[in-house]
Amino acid sequence: MSVIPHSPFSTPTLRFHAPHRIQSFLHPPMTLSKLQPIRHLIHRSNLTVSAASVRQDTLWTPTPLLKISPAAESLFHVTIDVSESPELAASYTKSGQYLQLRVQEPNTKPSFLAIASPPNDAVSKGVFEFLVKSIAGSTAEVLCELQKGDVVELSTVMGKGFDLDQISPPEDYQTVLIFATGSGISAIRSLIEAGFSADKRSDVRLYYGARNLSRMAYQERFKDWESYGVNIVPVLSQPDDSWTGERGYVQAAFAREKRISSPQSTGAVLCGQKQMAEEITSVLVADGVSSETILKNF
């Protein structure tokens, strides 16, 4: 499922502690090849769904695409108009929730996608936004080749989302550690932009892992995220020689300098590759962080 992609991720220590330092690490925006219209697609007979099979009683709502644009290498921003589907829009209440999407293409199966836009955008702007990884032979690949105005179908919103009550009030949970890999950053974007009182906490860190900068989405949002009170620690598993930040895996980067002063007042949010989530959870629990304050979106 596009919610949790693959990711890899170990060494020098460099992090972003102030917004103005972000750009010195990042390359200019990359240019990807032009999207191909759906009419040029040939029917595929072996498309695979990236998560569990769809329930037969799922309620589907037809919705038009507003925009598809490159986000990073193999990743796309997808914006869908839900303004004519108020019940669907209102069903999105917590960051970390997801839904199923299906396309009107033979032999395709629904794909599970985390919603990247914050919940209030669904009602106020009438949109759902997604960060979709295009994988050859998948439904997500077909989706990323559609055009504005093409119709897709969405299920109702699913999942418990991130239970922020477990790390509230902020004065009791001064440290919040966030971990994301690959397109798992989509649910984290929603969390940060919806707000969880990061500016009222003393230590909020986002460890964000990708293969290299070309595969790291949302770089243009980093300054804003820093202004909300989130210190961003990019971790690259295969960077070029000019990279002076963290290298390797997210879990290794964190383990090198955990800096957990008070486990009892520490919360965590995880979204991404399964092995990363399991290893980070083990490290945190071993250091005294309660499993109840380690939030996952499913």
Residue 47 in this model has a pLDDT that exceeds 50: no
The predicted model gives 142-154 an average pLDDT of 96
Give the mean pLDDT of the chain: 85
The token duo for 241 is 């020689």
* Cα 171 from Cα 157, distance rounded (Å): 31
Whether 47 and 137 have beta carbons less than 8 Å apart is answered as yes
Before 169, cis peptide (omega within 30)?
A: yes
Which tens digits make up the pLDDT trace of 235-282? 999 999 999 999 999 999 999 888 898 999 999 999 999 999 999 999
* Residue at token pair 């008070």: 262
